[in-house]
Structure 1
Amino acid sequence: MGDEIFQAINDNSPIIAWIHNISLNQQKYLKSKIKNYDFGHNVRYLMFIYDNPNCSQEDLVNMFCQSKGNIAKILKKFEDVGYIKREINPQNRRKYMLNTTDKANELIPEFRQISKDWDRAVGLTDEDEEFKNRLREIAINGMKLLEDSQ
């Protein structure tokens, strides 16, 4: 790879472009390391469900800014191959709670390690907790801003 590939990332680039670049490159890296599982970048949804037991389809839609239809299709595939289970939410019978199965739970540590390896390789460390918290806060503020404007 020549330096021309990296010229697009410069001081004048908007920060959102940097964040988007980081996200896409992390997804591509993870996808390349787990290609034997045929998850592609959809593994991020499985990891989210694992990290957030009893989450809903709507939680995935909001977190990943994907359409309800797209998320439903991905969840259906995960359910069909035995990686997630849906249970009716007793507080709202029109919604489902999502959880990973034992089959998925066996794979998640491997995927988590690949993500941690990527973090370290690109320079994210345990000392970056304040930075991560600030990014999380910005993401939440962006979601609230969008919700308020609709």
Structure 2
Amino acid sequence: MDDESFQGIRDKSPFIAWIHNISLNQQKYMKSKFSNIDFGHDVRYIIFIYDNPNCSQDDLVDMFCQSKGNIAKILKKFEDMGYIKREVNPKNRRKYMLNTTDKGSRLVPEYRRISKEWEKEVGISDEDKELKKRIAEIAYNGMKLIEDN
């Protein structure tokens, strides 16, 4: 592609603009497949809870660099929708353990399956392990950089 604009980004755009574009287009695709629900990027919280049973709200705050208030609002929405449940942590009664409900536990594998279809359609394959590993390293380094400051 030359210097023509495509969805608001250009060849000379920063790397992060391309990453953001990929993310937004994947989100639009997923929304079209789950048309009855608009999860947006917030579905990542359900997935994290699914992958980390009995995690806490603080775990989500740390992982996603979001405020406690923002996480609480999103969790309340997903709890009201029936995707997650909060249970008092018996080791610390002031904290809650987060888990997916049956509804949430059915959602995550389906979401991952459709996400994998999207990856295949856009040209992301299992052979891209090194690229995925490098992007994961960049994401981790970005989180660490913020944490260290």
- Would the aligned equivalents of 2:86 and 2:96 in 1 still touch at CA under 8 Å? yes
- Would the aligned equivalents of 1:31 and 1:41 in 2 still touch at CA under 8 Å? no
Q: Secondary structure of 2:79's partner?
A: helix
Q: Give the Å deviation of 1:64.
A: 3.3
Amino acid at match of 1:8: I
Q: Give the Å deviation of 1:84.
A: 0.7
- Residue of structure 1 in register with 2:118 after alignment: 118
Gaps of 5+ in 1: none
TM, length-normalised to structure 2: 0.82
CA displacement, residues 80-120 of structure 1 (integer Å, 9 cap, x when unaligned) = 23211122345544432211111211222221111111111
- Residue of structure 2 in register with 1:101 after alignment: 101
Change (3 A) 1:36 1:25: same
User: Percent same amino acid among aligned pairs?
Assistant: 71
Measure the CA separation in 2 of the matches of 1:32 and 1:24. 12
Measure the CA separation in 2 of the matches of 1:58 and 1:139. 19
Residue 18 (structure 1) aligned with residue 18 (structure 2): yes
Deviates more, 1:30-39 or 1:20-29: 30-39
- Residue of structure 2 in register with 1:43 after alignment: 43
Q: Give the Å deviation of 1:73.
A: 1.0
CA displacement, residues 30-50 of structure 1 (integer Å, 9 cap, x when unaligned) = 122102134344323212221
Describe how 1:1-150 pairs up with structure 2 within 5 A: 4-5=5-6, 8-10=9-11, 12-90=12-90, 92-149=92-149
Q: Secondary structure of 1:53's partner?
A: coil
Structure with a larger share of its residues in helix: 1
Gaps of 5+ in 2: none
- Would the aligned equivalents of 2:9 and 2:18 in 1 still touch at CA under 8 Å? no
Count of aligned residue pairs for this structure pair: 146
Measure the CA separation in 2 of the matches of 1:88 and 1:96. 4
Measure the CA separation in 2 of the matches of 1:45 and 1:101. 13
